[in-house]
Amino acid sequence: MKILITGGTGLVGSAIKKISNRYPKYSFIFISSKDCDLTDFQETTQIFLKLNPDYVIHLAANVGGLFKNMNQKVKMFEDNLMINYNVVKCCHAFNIKKLVAVLSTCIFPDEVSYPITEEMLHQGPPHVSNEGYAYAKRMLEIHIKKYREEYNKDFVCVSPCNVYGPNDNFNLEESHVIPAIIHKCYLAKKNNTEFILKGTGKALRQFIYSEDLGELILKILEKNNISYPNIILSPKKEYSIKEVAENIKEAFNYRKEITLETQYSNGQYRKNVSNQKLLSLFPEFKFTSLEYGIRETISWFINNYNTCRR
């Protein structure tokens, strides 16, 4: 049985590839934007026709951190809208047995009671900083829900919190928070300069290690009769951005104090989500600690500095 993974060379795709030998009954096919432009329906149709998968894990997206989301709202909306539409449409047309599509907890409403549950997704607008990306992802959840209702499709969305790990994008301007901070601290130590953090550092986030996310996605792929269309994937614990930076600083053995540039936006202050549905499905699942995950990510980044996305 063949599993097609879109966005297969990125952060989560690489994690799934690393653990794929734990699932020997499947043949994994990892594709990237070099193999197919998923914003083009004809190209998407051709790759499905060529590969003829049984299952699809849909990871592909135009993603980025806070400032990319704020500065490229139209592109983030349009690219993701087209990618998601084309993949879901082809999963239906080619009678895919199961589709697992990845959303994000950043698409939930800005003003909401905590912890956030799956049912709250459409109960208010997302934070203004990432509304282009968020609304496109919300449409993916609706698209999948309608196929479940009308055609009884085994299509499921998962909403991970902030993902980090080896093979991430460490670009200082467009990456997510942990890889951006890792790169900044690396340069600060290397050049004996200030370790600068944009914002107050008070914003709170939950983080999931990429290998944990890959494992959970494959568990959900194999789980039959999931009765709800969206599952939040997240550890329970929250960390402030300052705590994350201090953890990274310690891992690098960087001795200077962190400089906070408080004039910059913190983005949404809090996005605390509930993992109750996840734990009802997999009550024994153990998450990788943030401390260990950061050390592993830093080790990979240093060893692959010349070739990684930065």
pLDDT in tens, the chain (310 residues): 999 999 999 999 999 999 999 999 999 999 999 999 999 999 999 999 999 999 999 999 987 666 566 666 788 899 999 999 999 999 999 999 999 999 998 899 988 889 999 999 999 999 888 888 999 999 999 999 999 999 999 999 999 999 999 999 998 877 789 999 999 999 999 999 998 888 899 999 999 999 999 999 999 999 988 998 999 999 999 999 999 999 999 999 988 888 888 887 777 788 899 999 999 999 999 999 999 999 999 999 999 999 988 8
| pLDDT for res 179 | 95
Residue 57 lies in a domain: yes
**Which residues are CB-neighbours of 152 under 8 A, at least 6 positions away?**
none
Residue of 55, 85, 133, 186 marked active site: 133
Q: Which residues of 240-279 are buried (b: 16+ CB within 10 A; e: fewer)?
A: ebbebbbbbbebbebeeebebeeeeebbbebbbbbbebbe
Residue 84 lies in a domain: yes
| pLDDT for res 41 | 97
Q: Which residues of 193-227 are buried (b: 16+ CB within 10 A; e: fewer)?
A: eebbbbbbbebbbbbbbbbbbbbbbbebbeeeebe
For the chain, helix (H) and strand (E) counts, in that order, are 10, 12
Q: Dmax over Cα atoms in the chain, in whole Å?
A: 60
Residue 309 lies in a domain: no
Residue 136 lies in a domain: yes
Residue 6 belongs to domain spanning: 2-303
Over residues 239-272, the pLDDT tens digits come to 999 999 999 999 999 888 888 888 877 777 888 9
The Cα 275–Cα 286 span in angstroms is: 13
- Model pTM score: 0.92
Count how many domains the chain has. Answer: 1
Residue 310 lies in a domain: no
User: Which CATH number covers residue 281?
Assistant: 3.40.50.720
Amino acid found at 127:
H
3-class DSSP state of 244: helix
Can 264 be counted among the known catalytic residues? no
3-class DSSP state of 178: helix
| pLDDT for res 175 | 79
Residue 308 lies in a domain: no
The Cα 215–Cα 210 span in angstroms is: 9
Residue 73: φ, ψ to 5°: -65, -40
| pLDDT for res 95 | 97
> What residues form DSSP beta bridges with 162?
207
Whether residue 238 contacts residue 206, with contact meaning beta carbons closer than 8 Å, is answered with yes
| pLDDT for res 228 | 87
